[in-house]
Amino acid sequence: MIRTLIIAKDAAAREEFRRALPHHELACSFTTFNNGVREAVTCGRPEVIIFEMGEPLPAPATWELVRKTRQSRNVPLIALIPAPMLDKVDSRLEFDDFLVSPYDARELTLRINRLFLTRGGAESDTSIKCNDLVLDTATCEVTVAGSKTELTFKEYELLKLLASHRGRVFTREALLDKIWGYDYYGGDRTVDVHIRRLRSKIERTGRVYIETVRNIGYRFAKDA
């Protein structure tokens, strides 16, 4: 079955999708825009994303997250656009296909299958390995010396970002922007607290993975 993420405009629309789409063809997960999209995109590993436009329009950060996912993972994106909104949708928005709603569930399912097949099927699962530390990006699981390590969502996102760019220094401000979003109003001490907790979980064997760069921020050890 095709892992399909439905980003609905609200809870009522989400339930409508749940009833309408065929469960025997699609493995659907559901969220509403501006609520849990980042976690659904990161840990759900969708193979197709359905994005429902609505009033009010989703926050720019939500659309930007979906756009980056489409580009970096080659995940096809289908937009559902209400007829009254056709002249309000920015033509620069990037999507692979669209339907005017109210939609026909059979047509939407057909388009999902077509895009999935033309993109070559599922994205291959990958892992990030650093000595005895392993991140499984398909399941969002982390193991240290063969033992599963429980991380919060933010801790996992921090670790994945740093481990994917070994040796690169990230300022606290950059980490806040990438992990919490540009509209987060907390201070950069939030980063320090999460890094401290993350270190206590992944460095318990004595190996140092995350290095502090004084007065700047953090980096993942290049030789880790």
pLDDT tens sequence across 192-224: 999 999 999 999 889 999 999 999 999 999 876
Two tokens, residue 55:
């009033």
Q: Give bridge partners of residue 82 from the DSSP assignment.
A: 101
Question: Tell me, what's the pLDDT at 124?
Answer: 44
Residues 162 and 112 in one domain: no
Number of compact structural domains in the chain:
2
Question: Tell me, what's the pLDDT at 123?
Answer: 46
Neighbours of 1 (CB within 10 A): 11
Residues 114 and 134 in one domain: no
Q: What is the mean pLDDT of residues 16-28?
A: 84
Own/partner long-range contacts of 138-141 (Cβ < 8 Å, ≥24 apart): 138/45, 140/42, 140/43
Residues 12 and 111 in one domain: yes
Two tokens, residue 52:
């429902």
Among 118, 142, 170, the domain boundary falls at 118
Residues 116-153 pLDDT 10s: 887 655 444 467 888 889 998 877 889 998 899 999 99
Give the position of tokens 């063809």. Answer: 25
Residues 107 and 167 in one domain: no
Residues 113 and 150 in one domain: no
Residues 46 and 131 in one domain: no
Report the C-alpha gap between 116 and 208 in whole angstroms. Answer: 41
Structural domain containing residue 131: 127-220
Among 118, 147, 176, the domain boundary falls at 118
Report the C-alpha gap between 148 and 205 in whole angstroms. Answer: 13
SS3 of residue 2 by DSSP: strand
Question: Tell me, what's the pLDDT at 150?
Answer: 95
Report phi then psi at 211, rounded to 5: -105, 145
Residue with the larger pLDDT of the pair 100 and 40 = 100
Residues 131 and 114 in one domain: no
Among 145, 83, 78, residue whose Cα is nearest residue 115: 78
Residues 186 and 98 in one domain: no
Among 95, 118, 141, the domain boundary falls at 118
Report the C-alpha gap between 207 and 69 in whole angstroms. Answer: 32
